[in-house]
Structure 1
Amino acid sequence: MAKGLTEKDLGKFKLVGNIDAFGRKLVFQVTEISVEKDDYFSRLYLYDGRKIKPFTSGKKDGNPRFSPDGRLIAFTSKRDKESKEAELYVIPTDGGEARLLTKFKYGIKDLRFTEDGKSIAVITPIDIEKKPNDDVHVIKEIPYWFNGVGWVYGRRSVVYLLDIESGRKKRLTPKELDVGTIRFHKGKLYFTAQEDREKNPRVSDLYVLEGRKARKLTPGKWSVQDFIPLDDGTFILKANTLERGFATNTHIYHYNPETGELRKLTKDLDRAAYNSLNCDVRGAQRAELVLKDGWIYYVATDGPRANLFRVNLEGKIERVIGGDRSVESFAIGDYIAFTAQDAVTPTELYIFRNGKEKKLTDFNGWIKDYKLSKPEHFKVKASDGVEIDAWIMKPVDFEPGKKYPAVLEIHGGPKTAYGYSFMHEFHVLTTRGFVVIFSNPRGSDGYGEEFADIREHYGERDYQDIMEVVDKAIKRFDFIDPERIGVTGGSYGGFMTNWIVGHTKRFKAAVTQRSISNWVSFFGTTDIGYFFAPDQIGGDPWNNLDGYWEKSPLKYAPNVETPLLIIHSTEDYRCWLPEALQFFTALRYLGKTVELAIFPGENHDLSRGGKPKHRVRRLELIAEWMERWLKRE
């Protein structure tokens, strides 16, 4: 039997990311997954232009930044085992001991050196009002919690300035603003921030700090995610104008705050300016805008691939790093450094110089000893004439002439995509003897706003696309047993799994993960429900209760005949636990075949960043459920 990847191989992956560049030098982060210790450990590596060497010795080192002169590297860590605080260190680039500068109670979101290199600006959350010294939560705002963070009411992210020599720190930005990104230019601090995350949760503006006051530079109706100040007082913005809600693509713009003119530089490429490909073994991503020689560099999702592009102020767009792969992080010094992966190659570090590409690392070279199933691409012409990208992966021990059970995988979002990125889960299933089918139906990212826009139409064209993909796969690949097909997905993919089992009996097994079963409860209990549900379903439960219920899989529970496993986490604040509990209760009450697996202490990102032992157990549960119902005689 061929040696394929199993769930227990999770601990072999090395997650490469968070690059920073200075001249020919690179510093980057490598994270290891320890299933045995049930934890993640990360350290920094340095490339001096000739060779790579381990650079720090901590177990939780990350988020490195070069100083403007390249002599220091600042990074975050957690070396004090007794403390829960995030620690900020600096270390000489030429080597030596790392020096602890300070600690922050609620963590460090990002950091940057000032232009003179004498101070470091840190984004960190603080409590904006004194909280009672007890365990009672007195809440006055929404959102009150956030997935992966916990309680966030009464808390905002602010900028502190830390003097490297003295260690003195002072808060720069008003505590009422929730800061997202920061950059220095000509002695001034510019930053993005949310002003009212309750009433305008998707709006993030650009500000400049003038004295002790912050002046808003954008009109309060866009989501500004990154920016570059230009010498003439204008700005490059990576922003989303929100015109089509969550279906709107993020683009690169040139913005003049004096005239209010916003000019879309990437209008000739209807693609989102970020990486939205799914991956369950991804390193820390840093893909900030970079301005170099008149070109703005950025990552965009183009169909099933994420590539590095550049655009100039005239709107000319060029693909810099292409190919059927996923560019994860990048930085530019004397050359372009980037991390990338594809469907059978985990993430490694590369450089691109003088038109030539060179691979620098081989942290995941161990995978060459395994037999992997490479996805086979096929096109599906949907019933309305639109082409859908789809793939199948054969079992690792595939034998011509034999019939195999299959598992249909549905991605989350819905505005994300499958494609040329690594999915450990898929390889586990092919090792177990399953065909894996996956696709990018309507709602997916990478194909333009019109393709992505399924607002108020969940379970319609997207559902048709998915079912037509299955029909085409069965017709085209005669080794798929049409009587033994299962379905699984998480988040939106979990919603769609719930929807599918309530609308068809053709699947013989299903696993729904971190899903939505009831849009009314989702609206009122989750971190994004109060603005995501109105955008996706239309209105709110008071003016569109029929629409909310019509699009809720819970309504169709009496129709379910497919054996269903529900996987959910106790701290999933994106799709809270009641979404699983009420669907499970309804199905048990109605006498259906259903089981519920609850992961304590995990959140919506269980499959990507949960405790290693829980991640292994989750994969086991999925595979065992599919084997139980699809492989029995």
Structure 2
Amino acid sequence: MVSRRVIEVEDLTKLALVSDPQISPMADKIAFNITTMSLEEDDYISRIWIYDLRNGELYSLTNGPKDTNLRWSCSGKYIAFTSRRTLKEQEKGSELWVMRLDGGEARLVVKRKTPITQIEWLPGDRRIAMISAAGEFQEDVKIIDRLLFWYNGKGFIHTFRQHLFLVDVQSGDLTQVTSGEIDVNFIAVSTAGDKIAYIAKLDDAKPYIADLFVYNLKSGEHIKLTDSNMDIDFVSWSPDDSKLAFRGHNFRRGTISHRHIYIVPSDGGEVVDLTADIDRNTLNTLNSDVRGPGRSNGPRWVGNYIYFIIHDGGSVNLHRINVDTGKVEAVTKGERSVEAFSAAKSDGVHVVAFTSMNELEPPELYVWKSGLGEKKLTNFNEALLSTLKLSKPINFKFKASDGTLIEGWIMKPPECKGKKVPAVLYIHGGPKTAYGYSFIHEFHLIAAKGYALIYMNPRGSDGYSEEFADIRGHYGERDYQDIMEGVEYVVRNFNFINGDRLGVVGGSYGGYMVNWIVGHTDKFKAAVSMRGISNWFSFYGVSDIGYWFTLDHILGSLEEKPLTKENILKMVNKSPITYAENVKTPLLILHSIEDLRCYYEQALQFFTALKWLGKEVELVLVPKENHDLSRSGKPKHRVERLKQVMKWLDKYLKEKEKART
């Protein structure tokens, strides 16, 4: 029998991240990405793998190191992908490569100084549609004349626009299809190949609005199908090209509205909501720190079915709707997180390739066939997992003081031997994201270090009704109550927790909530705030989303005027820095310097206020990282972040307790 050990910080870099499953047009092969982390190179290595559904053969097609955005040609003979094979480490840009499946070297087709964010083949295997930025770099002095001037993970974008291009695969010649002050975010080529649907944002002042267009390659005509009153992120053609299925919402509850599945005639007409009766999101917002590149999980139209995901509680499963009857049925079931999928049809059989994970296993590759069900195809992480002693989360539900049911989980330390242990409450970001049945290395690490880990989905979270998710204008109220009542419930009902040794950790909105909590209670003996918010008034003018997010989420409506005295006061009252004098809990503030979502001035302000007041506080700043440090930052920085968090928790929940006793 193999002796198992608890998980360690560095085990994060030993995991294989399986992502972006792409079924071939003949439904006989699946191409997908395997991404690994290298501490030695301090980088990610992404390769393309193939699973042959005919004989079960599994093999690596490319050797990387940066091969992503893979797409099959319509004949199934070629695969196109983006890479950085000829680019130097710090050189800006992206490349489009094509290779044959039956042998031969990959061939460079296009080299750009800007990122290529999406590629799609046209029938005939001679042309590829792609999205890439057009514009000129301002390397030194920045001259800015537009509202949306920078973006997290991209930096300054004020001189660039995202546009649709057509690429001749043989010559590499580029033709720009769209132009002007718009940003194209998604494309889909029609079955016949004579049209391209695309989603574009037209107004920097309202970047939450996206419209659906169809471009006719023969006539050059662009048709606008929506009325600038929706947020749309994914589109798919019907088999006969007469209709389009898309995912989006119409701002029923502002920007927190659930995304539904809609259809519209491809030449214009009435937009029909197919999932109006399903009060759940069709987007996967479960938290995880083991995802690779490529999470395409929008609606796919195969035959008379549209395949899509539903996020319900802590699970995300694949469903399909019969377009003729409107009947919805589950394709996958269980406590899991379906991450991404693609679908095709062969000899009347529907075949879906998808990646899925749960709380004890990172994503792996699966296939589902109509009439046969699903089959797991890979076990890339089995060797590592078989050596680890992981804690299976315990699900709990409790009634909040207003009678609403709140769901959460607790992880017991794997080596808890009858004694009471300190506990850590972890709060998710968003706030409209969720915890559930997804793998989070950091959670297993905290449990492995001797802590009970508590996490829950308070009001504001995804996975439940729109009403449940809607805390706009009321941050720090019902969400805070749910969290504190949840902690009381857990301490009361799980006797292995030492209620006198509690810590709290959170990132983004979770970081804001940690900052809020320490200004309103001294229940916790240690706190860690990451990429959080301390001042909504400055967030409004600095964050890449601040000028609209603050209106909707803090003031309560996208129509609010932010700079009235009344609304400035509301922003101040909802800001944790206002309550800095009340803080008694030792606080670690951890922030990335290139975080443009919650800019690091948020950390500097709160640290300065607390330090000047003589509070116990420490600031950790991470260079060359953005808001996504914990999910896609440099491996060494991700490891260091985890070490800093554990060091702080140990200092105040273990070492101080030892000194006291």
- TM exceeding 0.5: yes
Q: What is the distance in 2 between the residues matched to 1:178 and 1:117?
A: 26
Instruction: Please point out which of 330, 340, 356 is paired with 2:356.
Output: 340
Q: What is the distance in 1 between the residues matched to 2:266 and 2:187?
A: 18
Over residues 77-132 of structure 1, what are the superposed CA-to-partner deviations in whole Å (9 max), with x where a residue is unaligned?
111143532111111112221111111111110000112321011100111xx566
> Which residue in the other structure is 2:331 paired with?
320
- Secondary structure in structure 2 of the residue aligned to 1:607: helix
Q: What is the distance in 2 between the residues matched to 1:525 and 1:448?
A: 31
1:259 deviation in Å? 7.0
In the alignment, is the contact (CA less than 8 A) between 2:98 and 2:109 conserved in 1?
A: yes
Paired residue type of 2:66: K
In the alignment, is the contact (CA less than 8 A) between 1:31 and 1:42 conserved in 2?
A: yes
Equivalent runs, 1:172-211 vs 2, <5 Å: 172-185=177-190, 186=192, 187-196=194-203, 198-210=204-216, 211=219
Paired residue type of 1:47: Y
1:278 and 2:287 correspond: yes
Paired residue type of 1:510: A
1:99 and 2:107 correspond: yes
- Secondary structure in structure 2 of the residue aligned to 1:595: strand
1:258 deviation in Å? 6.7
Over residues 127-179 of structure 1, what are the superposed CA-to-partner deviations in whole Å (9 max), with x where a residue is unaligned?
1xx566x6100000121110011111121111111111222111111242210
Q: What is the distance in 2 between the residues matched to 1:168 and 1:151?
A: 28
> Which residue in the other structure is 1:30 paired with?
34
Over residues 511-557 of structure 1, what are the superposed CA-to-partner deviations in whole Å (9 max), with x where a residue is unaligned?
00000100000000010000001000113441201110110000000
Q: What is the distance in 1 between the residues matched to 2:561 and 2:454?
A: 35
Deviates more, 1:584-593 or 1:232-241: 232-241
> Which residue in the other structure is 1:116 paired with?
124
Q: What is the distance in 1 between the residues matched to 2:222 and 2:177?
A: 9
> Which residue in the other structure is 2:469 paired with?
452
1:289 deviation in Å? 2.0
Instruction: Please point out which of 158, 170, 177 is paired with 1:153.
Output: 158
Q: What is the distance in 2 between the residues matched to 1:259 and 1:87?
A: 35
Q: What is the distance in 2 between the residues matched to 1:162 and 1:256?
A: 27
1:213 deviation in Å? 5.0
- Secondary structure in structure 1 of the residue aligned to 2:309: strand
Q: What is the distance in 2 between the residues matched to 1:248 and 1:510?
A: 31
1:7 and 2:9 correspond: yes
In the alignment, is the contact (CA less than 8 A) between 1:2 and 1:397 conserved in 2?
A: no
> Which residue in the other structure is 1:484 paired with?
501
1:276 deviation in Å? 0.5
Instruction: Please point out which of 237, 242, 251 is paired with 2:246.
Output: 237
1:254 deviation in Å? 2.0
Q: What is the distance in 1 between the residues matched to 2:286 and 2:641?
A: 21
Q: What is the distance in 1 between the residues matched to 2:298 and 2:400?
A: 36
TM-score by length of 2: 0.93
Instruction: Please point out which of 527, 542, 550 is paired with 2:563.
Output: 542
Instruction: Please point out which of 340, 348, 360 is paired with 1:329.
Output: 340
Equivalent runs, 1:454-473 vs 2, <5 Å: 454-473=471-490
In the alignment, is the contact (CA less than 8 A) between 1:508 and 1:630 conserved in 2?
A: yes
In the alignment, is the contact (CA less than 8 A) between 2:225 and 2:268 conserved in 1?
A: no
- Secondary structure in structure 2 of the residue aligned to 1:160: strand
> Which residue in the other structure is 2:318 paired with?
308
C-alpha RMSD over aligned residues: 1.5
In the alignment, is the contact (CA less than 8 A) between 1:442 and 1:461 conserved in 2?
A: yes
Paired residue type of 1:432: K
TM-aligned CA distance change 1:259 to 1:149, over 3 Å: closer
1:36 deviation in Å? 2.0
1:291 and 2:297 correspond: no
Q: What is the distance in 2 between the residues matched to 1:168 and 1:257?
A: 29
Q: What is the distance in 2 between the residues matched to 1:227 and 1:2?
A: 46
> Which residue in the other structure is 2:79 paired with?
73
- Secondary structure in structure 2 of the residue aligned to 1:486: strand
Paired residue type of 2:141: V
- Secondary structure in structure 1 of the residue aligned to 2:495: coil
- Secondary structure in structure 1 of the residue aligned to 2:271: strand
Q: Give the percent of matched residue pairs that are identical in Structure 1 and Structure 2.
A: 47
In the alignment, is the contact (CA less than 8 A) between 1:121 and 1:162 conserved in 2?
A: yes
Instruction: Please point out which of 385, 388, 394 is paired with 1:367.
Output: 385
Q: What is the distance in 1 between the residues matched to 2:423 and 2:637?
A: 24
1:587 deviation in Å? 0.1
> Which residue in the other structure is 2:169 paired with?
164
Instruction: Please point out which of 634, 641, 646 is paired with 1:611.
Output: 634
1:391 and 2:409 correspond: yes
Over residues 554-613 of structure 1, what are the superposed CA-to-partner deviations in whole Å (9 max), with x where a residue is unaligned?
000000000000000000000001100000000001110000000001000000000101
Q: What is the distance in 2 between the residues matched to 1:420 and 1:576?
A: 30
> Which residue in the other structure is 2:535 paired with?
518
Instruction: Please point out which of 547, 554, 564 is paired with 2:587.
Output: 564
Q: Unaligned 5+ residue runs, structure 2?
A: none
1:356 deviation in Å? 3.1
Over residues 393-443 of structure 1, what are the superposed CA-to-partner deviations in whole Å (9 max), with x where a residue is unaligned?
00111112x110000000000000000001111111111100000000000
1:90 and 2:101 correspond: no
1:21 and 2:39 correspond: no
1:212 deviation in Å? 4.4
1:243 deviation in Å? 2.1
In the alignment, is the contact (CA less than 8 A) between 1:410 and 1:496 conserved in 2?
A: yes
- Secondary structure in structure 1 of the residue aligned to 2:644: helix
- Secondary structure in structure 1 of the residue aligned to 2:120: strand
Q: What is the distance in 2 between the residues matched to 1:227 and 1:591?
A: 54
Deviates more, 1:37-46 or 1:79-88: 79-88
How many pairs are equivalent? Answer: 628
- Secondary structure in structure 1 of the residue aligned to 2:140: coil
1:324 deviation in Å? 0.3
Deviates more, 1:447-456 or 1:134-143: 134-143
Paired residue type of 1:17: S
Q: What is the distance in 2 between the residues matched to 1:393 and 1:540?
A: 44
Deviates more, 1:48-57 or 1:234-243: 234-243
In the alignment, is the contact (CA less than 8 A) between 2:208 and 2:255 conserved in 1?
A: no
1:472 deviation in Å? 0.6
Q: What is the distance in 2 between the residues matched to 1:192 and 1:100?
A: 27
1:42 and 2:53 correspond: no
Paired residue type of 2:7: L
Q: What is the distance in 1 between the residues matched to 2:589 and 2:256?
A: 28
> Which residue in the other structure is 2:400 paired with?
382
1:323 deviation in Å? 1.0
TM-score by length of 1: 0.97
- Secondary structure in structure 1 of the residue aligned to 2:288: coil
1:58 deviation in Å? 2.3
In the alignment, is the contact (CA less than 8 A) between 1:572 and 1:602 conserved in 2?
A: yes
1:260 deviation in Å? 4.3
1:209 deviation in Å? 2.0
Q: Unaligned 5+ residue runs, structure 1?
A: none
Q: What is the distance in 1 between the residues matched to 2:379 and 2:137?
A: 49
Paired residue type of 1:327: V
1:316 deviation in Å? 1.6
Q: What is the distance in 2 between the residues matched to 1:257 and 1:110?
A: 21
Q: What is the distance in 1 between the residues matched to 2:197 and 2:303?
A: 22
In the alignment, is the contact (CA less than 8 A) between 1:173 and 1:209 conserved in 2?
A: no
In the alignment, is the contact (CA less than 8 A) between 1:298 and 1:308 conserved in 2?
A: yes
> Which residue in the other structure is 1:594 paired with?
617
Q: What is the distance in 1 between the residues matched to 2:87 and 2:178?
A: 31
> Which residue in the other structure is 1:142 paired with?
147
- Secondary structure in structure 2 of the residue aligned to 1:321: coil
Paired residue type of 1:15: L
